[in-house]
Structure 1
Amino acid sequence: MGIITVYHGTPDKIVTPTYGLGDDKHDYGRGFYLTEDFELAKEWAVCRPDEKNGWVHKYELEVDDLKILDFQDRDVLAWLSELMKHRDASDTKRYRVLAEKFIKKYGVDTSEYDVIKGWRANASYFYIAKEFVRDNIDMDILEELLSLGGLGIQYCIKTEKAYSKLKEITEELCSVDYEEFNNKYNRRDSQARSKMRELVDSDANKVTKVFSTLI
């Protein structure tokens, strides 16, 4: 695999990836988030409703000696379990009790990995997670739902070793126009959610193998 090119979309012109920083409540917990998709990075740079232009920082990541957990190679329930570790899909007592059991049964120990790779749970994908824990989505359509959005795969840099393998190509810093790419982000998200609702409401969703029955 060698070296891969990845991008970080952000409102900030100056970014210093630092081990130990980040938000525990992001999809895969604390870490530095990147994508191989330059166009998606532009959208993610301006996805907030603050009308500020953004920036895309370009990096090279040397991956040969890194342990990478790719959730696309795992059962989709493992990915949902990872989300549940960091983000609340519901604030009910029922959810808290069932989520703990679900994570214990389907979760992956990510502590031995330098990098986590998987879907980005923005508004559309988190809609799936919320509907799933409400027992409104059958497991048999979960993977198809995740393929509908085209909403992006992200990398999360987790360990000191992984941070040491990340190098910014500073001369290729790119500015992002808020209006153009915020509109693209919202349009992509809206279209994805519409397709997802259509599938959830279709006969393909048998609503038999649901969240509470899988524990």
Structure 2
Amino acid sequence: MIQDINILYHGTGATFENPDLDNSREDVDFGVGFYTTQNKEMAKKWASFKRKSTINTYSFNRIGDLKIYTFKLDEEWLDFVTNNRLGIDSQKKYDKYDILIGPTAENKVFDTVNEYIKGTYTKKEAIQYINVVG
């Protein structure tokens, strides 16, 4: 589990002094939230989808007493992401956490989750494939 986070990046089309949930969508992998990454290249990629690319940088000395939950690429993660994409409120179980950390579904992983949602793959097949390409 992450104890100290030094720098987080938020790639978008606007500048945010502080996390802002007003523009967050419900139908994305982790639901409503302020998405950040420790990977600056990933933040650049997210920002590149916007008309104006902005990389917001946040520095922390330590997390302190924040409650953190970390997902693995497993059935729990797949259920959580699937429910969020379908607009099924699966957040309640995780409401007690201040920070959720987990893999993002991009490229083949993103496609695999979509195929699972369509019924092309069973949960077991999707997890196996995701762990190979993820």
TM over 0.5: yes
> Quick one: which amino acid aligns to residue 109 of structure 1?
K
Q: Please identify which structure carries the higher strand content.
A: 1
Q: Distance in 2 between matches of 1:144 and 1:4?
A: 33
Contact 2:116–2:126 (Cα < 8 Å) also in 1: no
Q: Aligned-pair distance for 1:17? A: 3.1
* Counterpart check, 1:113 vs 2:113: no
- Larger-gyration structure (1/2): 1
CA separation in 1, counterparts of 2:126 and 2:94? 26
Cα distance in 2 for residues equivalent to 1:11 and 1:124: 25
The TM-score with structure 1 as length reference comes to 0.50
Where 1:80 maps in the other structure, the secondary structure is helix
- Greater per-residue helix proportion: 1
Structure 2 residue runs of 5 or longer lacking an equivalent are none
CA–CA distance in structure 1, aligned partners of residues 49 and 30 of structure 2: 19
Alignment: residue pair count? 129
Amino acid at match of 1:86: N
Runs of 4+ residues deviating >6 angstroms: none
Corresponding residue number in structure 2 for 1:161: none
Q: What's the TM-score once normalised by structure 2's chain length?
A: 0.76
Q: Show the 5 A alignment for 1:1-215.
A: 1-12=3-14, 14-18=15-19, 20-21=21-22, 22-48=24-50, 52-61=51-60, 62-72=62-72, 76-88=74-86, 109-122=93-106, 124-138=108-122, 139-140=124-125, 142-146=127-131, 148-149=133-134
Kindly, what percent of the aligned residue pairs are identical? 25
Task: Provide the C-alpha distance between the structure 2 equivalents of 1:110 and 1:147, rounded to a whole number of angstroms.
Answer: 27
Whether the 8 Å CA contact 1:27–1:83 is kept in 2: the answer is yes
**In 2, Cα distance between equivalents of 1:26 and 1:135:** 19
Distance 1:19 1:10, change over 3 A: closer
